[in-house]
Amino acid sequence: MTSKEYKELSVKEFTKAAEVYESDHAGVYNLCKKDYPDVLAELEKEPFTDLLDCGCGTAPMLTLLHEKYPDKHYTGIDLTPKMIEVAKSKKMKNVELVVGDCEHLPFAENSFDAVICCESFHHYPNPQDFFDSVYRVLKPGGRFILRDMTMNSAAVRWFCNTVEMPLAHLMGKGDVRIYGREDIRELCKNAGLHMESYEKRGFCRLHCVIRKPDAPVKCYNQITESYHQSRNIYDDVLTQSKWWSKLYIRIFWSGVDDVELARRVLRYIPADFSGKLLDVPVGTAVFTHEKYAALHNAEIIGLDYSRDMLAQAEKRLSGLPQVKLVQGDVGSLEFPDRSIDIVMSMNGFHAFPDKRSAFRETYRVLKRGGRFIGCYYVRGESRITDSLVANVLVRNGWFTPPFDTAPQLKRRLQKVYDVTHFHVEGSMVYFCAVKCQIAIK
Ligand SMILES: C[S@@+](CC[C@H](N)C(=O)[O-])C[C@H]1O[C@@H](n2cnc3c(N)ncnc32)[C@H](O)[C@@H]1O
């Protein structure tokens, strides 16, 4: 079944259920009522002011919360218009109710300090999109409380997912899948969220508390430390200049040659380029120094957060008056809007802790018609690489989640750029994208 078909089935199922959902004749949905006290108790462990209920249905949880804490601000979202219609008929103050898809939450980033999702998640065909979306709308430090169906035994879950679900579809139910602890942990890791606790409660309920890490300050410190520690091997790894680095790239990165990848990205810079180029992160300039030496008429700014990287770039680029090196954060660039002709980001976005700000800022400083070029890691292309990234590179601070898949990155770029080149090589993507001439809001 396609995502669209699953969602249509859910809407059909809950359109029928909406009128009776909170009554005593709700059939199987009566079981959901047992979850509300637990979610309430979990929420009450910490203060909150802005709460989002994902898949809120007729808003029984929001009703409970609203009665107890009428002054807080609540938002509920549900895919089924009839569920939202019933919820709205309660006319609760400070409660906004929206028809929408939880896989693409239509709210500004960092909007909520608490997100709950109760008995709705098993209806989502693209669970990672939902987790990524929750990450985006949660404030740093905010909590996500997930309550859903589960079974402890992987064999029983397999049975439910492969035998029971298709039968449920025949009976008009839009359920997609149930999950276990490791599935949820993986979804969190990919989204950049931290699974604080996971419990199986009662016969078949998962009760999970997930947190968006605090402002990336901690990440920045870790990045600084990691690049400090790896400063003496960084170039060897990337250029495969030692036997062990060749082996590493062959085993873990499908043999993708970073030097060749960098060469291809650098080809997007015209040989006679005479404008302003921002290279972020400049790193040690191991791939770029020869090209920069030939760009006599260009103005090149190499920016990096790590002073260790800059110190090495300084050695390679010191004789080039056209290059200026700056320490700074890609998430808050000190350049005016539309002041740069080419923004280049090689091997940067998989490390940047605040990718949204990085995308926003690189876009902001680029002139209309200017080029955004670069290469970086995307997940979903190789299990070995994904496992290395999650278990070693993220843990040690060289990479920071969340990571896009190649299609996600392409879509992200296409929203605001005209993507002229987009290639996937192993788990790396390299691209050239031109900022659209008209302003995009
Ligand atoms: C069993 S009800 C749970 C309602 C409520 N959270 C509760 O605990 O009683 C599941 C709800 O998930 C909603 N739903 C399913 N897929 C959704 C999606 N992709 N985005 C938003 N809501 C969705 C359904 O419309 C339905 O109202």
- Dihedral of CA atoms 311, 313, 318, 323 in degrees, nearest 10, equals -120
Over residues 137-158, mean pLDDT: 94
Q: Which ligand 1 atom lies nearest to the CA of residue 117?
A: 6
Q: Tell me: the pLDDT tens digits for 9-26?
A: 999 999 999 999 998 887
Q: How far apart are CA 364 and CA 361, in angstroms?
A: 5
- Model confidence over 266-276: pLDDT tens digits? 999 999 999 99
102 CA from centroid of ligand 1 (Å): 9
pLDDT at residue 441 tops 60: no
Report, as an integer, the average pLDDT of 273-302.
96
Mean pLDDT, range 109-133, rounded to an integer: 95
Specify the residue with its C-alpha closest to ligand 1, atom 8: 118
How high is the pLDDT of residue 199? 93
Q: How far is the CA of 207 from the centre of ligand 1 (A)?
A: 17
In this prediction, residue 405 has a pLDDT band, given cuts at 50, 70 and 90, of very high
**Lookup: tokens for 433:** 């994208």
State the pLDDT at residue 251: 77
Mean pLDDT of 261-269: 97
pTM of the model: 0.60
| pLDDT the model gives residue 224 | 66
CA angle 37, 39, 40 (to 5 degrees): 60
pLDDT value of position 202: 87
Selection from 76-80, 391-395, 414-418 with the highest mean pLDDT? 76-80
Asked whether the predicted pLDDT for residue 430 surpasses 60, the reply is yes
- pLDDT for 220 equals 65
| CB distance 431 to 374 below 8 Å | yes
Q: How far, in Å, is the centroid of ligand 1 from the Cα of 11?
A: 9
**Higher-pLDDT residue of 436, 275:** 275
What is the CA(402)–ligand 1 centre distance, in A? Answer: 25
d(CA 236, CA 243): 10
pLDDT at 117 over 60: yes
Residue 33 CA: nearest ligand 1 atom is 9
Dist. CA 115 → ligand 1 center (Å): 14
- Output the 3-class SS for 22-43: CCCCCHHHHHHHHCHHHHHHHH
| pLDDT tens string 149-192 | 999 899 999 999 999 898 888 888 889 999 999 999 989 988 88
Q: What is the 425 CA–ligand 1 centroid distance (Å)?
A: 38
Closest-lying ligand 1 atom to the alpha carbon of residue 57: 27
Count the neighbouring beta carbons within 10 Å of the beta carbon of residue 236.
Answer: 16
The pLDDT value given to residue 354: 82
DSSP H/E element including 341: strand 340-346
Name residue, tokens 């300039």: 285
Which of 34, 54, 105, 123 is the pocket-test mutation for ligand 1 (most atoms within 8 Å of CB)? Answer: 123
Q: How many Å lie between the centroid of ligand 1 and the Cα of residue 77? A: 8
| pLDDT value of position 214 | 72
Of 2, 8, 10, 95, the one to substitute when testing ligand 1's pocket (max ligand atoms within 8 A of C-beta) is: 10
Phi, psi of 190 (to 5 degrees): -65, -30
Q: Ligand 1 atom closest to Cα of 83?
A: 27
- In ligand 1, the atom with minimum distance to the C-alpha of 53 is 6
Provide the mean pLDDT of the chain: 91
Instruction: Give residue 334's pLDDT band: very low, low, confident or very high (50, 70, 90).
Output: confident
d(C-alpha 413, C-alpha 434), whole Å: 9
Helices within 253-339 (DSSP H only): 258-266, 289-294, 307-317
Q: Which residue puts its alpha carbon closest to atom 16 of ligand 1?
A: 123
Query: How would you class 245 by CB atoms within 10 Å of its CB: exposed for 0-12, middle for 13-18, buried for 19 or more?
Result: middle
Given a cut of 50, is residue 440 above it in pLDDT? Answer: no
Rounded to an integer, the average pLDDT of 224-241 is 67
For residue 127, the tally of other CB atoms under 10 A from its CB is 20
Question: Which H or E element spans position 214?
Answer: none
High-pLDDT (> 70) share of the chain, %: 93
Residues paired with residue 51 on neighbouring β-strands, in sequence order: 74, 114
Lowest mean pLDDT among 73-82, 210-219, 352-361, 410-419: 210-219
Q: What does the DSSP 8-state code read for residue 339? A: -
CA of 119 to the centre of ligand 1 (A): 7
Mean pLDDT for the stretch of residues 204-221: 78
| Domains present along the chain, CATH in parentheses | 3-211 (3.40.50.150), 219-435 (3.40.50.150)
pLDDT band at 252 (very low <50, low <70, confident <90, very high): confident
